[in-house]
Structures are given as C-alpha cells and as structure tokens.
Chain A
Amino acid sequence: MEKPEKLIVDGKRLDGRAPDELRPLKIEAGILKRADGSASVELGANKVLAAVYGPREMHPRHLQQPDTAVLRCRYNMAPFSVDERKRPGPDRRSVEISKVTREALEPVLFLELYPRSAIDVFIEVLQADAGTRTAGITAATVALADAGVPMRDMISSVAVGKIDDTIVLDLTKAEDNWGTTDMPIAMMPRKKLITLLQMDGHFTKEEFEQALDLAFKGCEQIYGAQRQALREKYAIKKGE
C-alpha cells in the first residue's frame, strides 16, 4: 500500500471512522478450556488471545518469592500475524512489551495473597493491525478476572495518536506507519490511574493533554466491553 496523500479526508479516517471512534470491538471471556482464565479480543483487524495460569506453584523454584506471588507475562506474535512472516520467538520488541504489560497489570493484583506462587499471563497475537499490546492488556485483564484472580480494578487499554495534526483514537497499522505519533496507554478505569504509558513521535503540551482526554474516553468504552464480556459469561440467565 502506498502512502495516501491524506490520512483524514472531510473529517473521516481511511477506514471511515471519526477521529474519536474506536474500531469494532468484540471481547469474549473463557474461550480456552485448559487455561484457568482466558479471553479473546478482536479490535478491528486485530485478533488477540490471552490465557492465565495460576496462581500456581512457581517453577523454577529458585524464582519463588517467600512473601508474594510473581506475575509473569509473555507477549508473543504468531509468525503469520503480520504481512511479512515474523521469525518465531522473542525479539527485542516483544521482550519490552512483555515487561510493560506486566507493569501495567501488576498494580491491580493482590500478589501478596499468594506467596511462592506464579501467575502466568500468555498473550498471543494471531492477527495484527496496530494496537496489539493494548488489545493484549485488555484481553489479559478479562482473562485474569475469568481466572478468579482478585483485582482492585480492571485495566483497560487503548492507543491514541496524532495523524495529519489531528489527535485520534485507536490507530490502524496504516495510521501508525504514516502518522506522527503513537501513544499506547493503560489505566484503571474507575480510579483513573495510568499504569502503562509509552509514546513515540511528537506532541506539544496541548496535544498531550488532548490525547490523554481521548485516551480516558476510549478506555471507558473498552471497560464497558470488558464488563459486558464477563457478564455474558457469568450472568445467571433466565431458565438456568
């Protein structure tokens, strides 16, 4: 695909969305049988799975912590998830994303309740179209709730950015490639506390503030969908 002259025409983005509009979002809880908790997130063309195992005994044992559980996160992209085949295994990008994912999720967990154990979060990107780390965090949170891991709040995550000098919500691959700025963010939606923030590109002070506004709005919608997914799995339905 060639770079289009403009990424926003008549207030509409390449895929027809308004600047503050999320891509179609579908979240499902409990989609994997063997995992203690699981979830899938489809956001536009992104397809992401998350599975939670644990709290369970920590192996190798020398990594056990006597006073707390250890949260381990692995973000991984399938070789077929991107245009050009991605070499399997961790690269520098996925190591970094795994780290910031762990740091985004850990603030809401009561790890001190489970000494010597591990909580493992596995995120697999099956199809990628920008915003996979945020979709992964959104999925992982639902999977943690599905696993029954106690949490202070949910974590909802979305990316905002700047394309054609306009602040937009939820960038696609094309917008990420040709736009100016990408800022993935994750937060506790009720307490409005930010647990993940990364940014590359260019923001003035005003643009940064505007982007934060939009991120709060976007996470609010993600939060609604996360709750809905859990409700659909766990609500007592009529006739049951």
Chain B
Amino acid sequence: MHEIVSSVKRDYIADLARQGKRIDTRTLDQFREISIEVGPVKSAQGSALVKIGKTQVMAGVKVERAEPFADKPDSGMLIVNAELLPLASPTFEPGRPGENAIELARVVDRGIRESDAIDLEKLVIKSGEDVWAVFIDIYVLDHDGNLIDASALAAMAALLNAKPLEDEAWTLPEFPIQKKPVAVTVVKINDRLVVDPCVDEEGVMDARITIATIEDGSICAMQKGGIGCFSREELEQAHELARVKGAELRAKLG
C-alpha cells in the first residue's frame, strides 16, 4: 500500500515532523477535512461515501439470508470485504485481494465485530438454520493515505444508514446497531506520532498503529503495521490520540 517517495521529499517530511510540522501545514494531531455522504447508492441496504482530504472510500451494506456457522447457530453473520480498486492508485492492480486489502478488511471487521456494533443475535430467523448475513463491501476509490480510518468510518456510516429489509422474514423495525466503533491510525515519523497520514507520509513512516475505540474511549481492536516499532510510552500516547480523535470522528457519524 506504500508508495515510493523521493529521498528529497522523504527528508523534508521527516525533518518537518521533528519540528512538529507537516507538508500540508496541518498539526501532528490534526485530521484532514472529513465529509460523510450517506446513502449515495440506492441499490444497497445502506451506503456511505467518506472523504478524508483527497482519500475517498465508499462502503455498501447488503443483507442476505444465509445458513449460520455451525458453532454460532444463534447469531447473524458479518462479512467484511475490501477492494483496492485499480482506479484508486497507480500501485493497485486488478486481481484477487492482496495482503493489504485483506488486512484492511480484517482490521475494519475486528472493530465492528469486537465492539458488538451490530446486534447479531437479533439477526436470526430460525436458530441453526436461517440467519441474516450482513455484507460490508469497502470500495477504495482514491488513495491519498489513511485508508483504514476512512474505510472503518465508511463502514460504520453505511451500517447506520442501513434500512430495514423489505422481506417478510425481516421483523425488526430498524437495523440493529448498538455501538459506534471508530478507528484512528497513528503513524510514527522520525519519532513523532502523527494522525491521519497522507500517502506521502505513509511512504515515510516507520510504523503505524490503528486503535479502534467505542463511545467510552475503551479499546475494541488494535493493529500495528509497517516495518518499525513502538515503545510502551508511544502506545499509550497513541491510545490517548485515538480516544480524543475517535470522539471527533464519531461526532461526524451523527
């Protein structure tokens, strides 16, 4: 997912970080402008288009009847899939999802699943035989960095936008959402912690940590990525950033 950055720019970004500055004049703990458009796709149960700066991610929710997993007869299903579309970046190629797309989908999945954002127990039609499967498809349209946060936000916005199904087996008055997890990714550049990296900053970063939090600031999922490491103090700082910035993102979900 990382693109090659020229060594001049690399040094420039690293040097700016040391001074607490960034190439687009943001502060280290500042997100780019965020917009969330809900319901752009009518053929989906729920959908959302999230823009963070120039990054654009669409998420669509589809619900279908399915047979439950044998070990979870009384639970609906959640399936998250992510596509890094070739139109979104010169580095994305057509074909089966690679490890970056798989990691992206699984990190978004964990945030939603582990926080019990969807009350899956309500999505049972007949125990052990018939349940609702919720498919969240994440479509990356333009990659200017921070795809995880944008994708998690788009997925959550699409879930909140999801309408009850027009199907006689669907008996719930509304789509059963009970939590709003949001993911905040913090990257380390030249020993400084930075939120919402743009694509050039991702090309320069040593490592990243994504922390998904729920309303009370507690953590429901984490994932470190990149070839680098974090000290204990940096992780605790990252959690604090994720808590504060997460509340800002959550407020945008309405």
Q: Measuring CB to CB, which residues of chain A are less than 8 angstroms from any residue of chain B? A: 92-93, 95-96, 98-100, 103, 106-107, 183, 187-188, 191-205, 208-209, 212, 216
Q: Flag B39-50 by CB within 8 Å of A: 1 or 0 each.
A: 000000000000
Q: Which residues of chain B from 84 to 107 have a CB within 8 Å of any chain A CB?
A: 99-100, 102-103, 105-106
B110: nearest residue on chain A (CB-CB)? A200
CA distance in complex: A194, B207 (Å): 10
A193 proximity list for chain B (CB < 8 A): 229-231
Decide if B222 touches A198 in the complex (CB within 8 Å).
yes
Instruction: Report the minimal beta-carbon distance from A240 to chain B, rounded to whole angstroms.
Output: 38
Chain A residues near B231 (CB, 8 Å)?
A: 192-194
Residues of B within 8 A of A192 (CB): 231-232
- Least CB distance from B238 to A in Å reads 10
Chain A residues contacting B228 (CB-CB under 8 Å) are: 107, 195
Which residues of chain B from 199 to 254 have any CB-CB distance to chain A below 8 Å in the complex? 207, 209, 217-232, 235-236, 239, 243
Expressed in whole angstroms, the minimum distance between the Cβ of A8 and any Cβ of chain B is 21
Nearest-Cβ distance from residue B148 to partner chain A, whole angstroms:
13
Closest CB pairs A-B (n = 7): A193-B229, A199-B222, A197-B224, A106-B227, A99-B99, A200-B114, A203-B219
Given contacts A99-B99, A197-B209, contact A208 B224 (CB under 8 A): no
Q: Which of B219, B226, B227, B235 contacts A194 (CB 8 A)?
A: B235
Q: Which residue of A lies closest to B81 (CB)?
A: A92
Q: How far is the CB of A113 from chain B (nearest CB, A)?
A: 16
Contact indicator B114/A103 (Cβ below 8 Å)? no
Q: Give the residue name and chain of the B residue nearest to A105 (CB).
A: B227
CA of A212 to CA of B239, assembled, Å = 13
How far, in whole Å, are A95 and B222 apart by their CA atoms in the complex? 17
Contact A103 B225 (CB under 8 A): yes
| Pairwise interchain contact A188-B222, C-beta atoms closer than 8 A | no
Nearest chain B CB to A231 CB, angstrom units: 26
Size of chain B's interface in residues, with CB distance under 8 A?
32
Give every chain B residue within 8 A of A92 (Cβ-Cβ): 102, 105-106
- B residues less than 8 Å from A191 (CB atoms): 229
B22 at the interface (CB under 8 A from A): no
Report how far A205 CA is from B100 CA in the complex, Å: 29
- Which residue of chain B is the closest to A198 with respect to CB atoms? B223
Residues in B whose Cβ lies below 8 Å from that of A205: 217-218, 239, 243
Q: Are B218 and A204 in contact (CB under 8 A)?
A: yes
Q: Please state if B239 and A194 are interface contacts (CB–CB under 8 Å).
A: no
23 A-B interface contacts by CB (under 8 A): A95-B99, A96-B103, A100-B103, A103-B225, A107-B227, A187-B229, A194-B230, A194-B235, A195-B229, A197-B222, A197-B223, A197-B230, A198-B223, A199-B219, A199-B221, A202-B114, A202-B115, A202-B219, A203-B218, A204-B218, A205-B218, A208-B239, A212-B235
A197's contact among B103, B113, B235, by CB below 8 Å, is which? B235
| Contacts A95-B99, A95-B103, A209-B236 known; 4 new A-B pairs at CB < 8 A | A92-B102, A200-B113, A200-B114, A205-B217
Are B220 and A194 touching (Cβ within 8 A)? no
Q: How far is the CA of A188 from the CA of B221 in the complex (A)?
A: 22
Chain B contacts for A187, CB-based, 8 A: 229
Most chain A CB within a 10 A radius of its CB, from B217, B220, B224, B243: B224
Mark each residue of chain B from 126 to 153: 1 if its CB lies under 8 Å from any CB of chain A, else 0: 0000000000000000000000000000
Q: Indicate if the CB atoms of B113 and A103 lie closer than 8 Å.
A: no
- When chains A and B are docked, how far (Å) is the Cα of A216 from the Cα of B239? 18
Q: How far is the CB of B187 from chain A (nearest CB, A)?
A: 13
A183 CA / B229 CA spacing, docked (Å): 16
- Given contacts A106-B227, A197-B209, A197-B230, whether A99 and B103 have CB atoms under 8 Å apart is yes
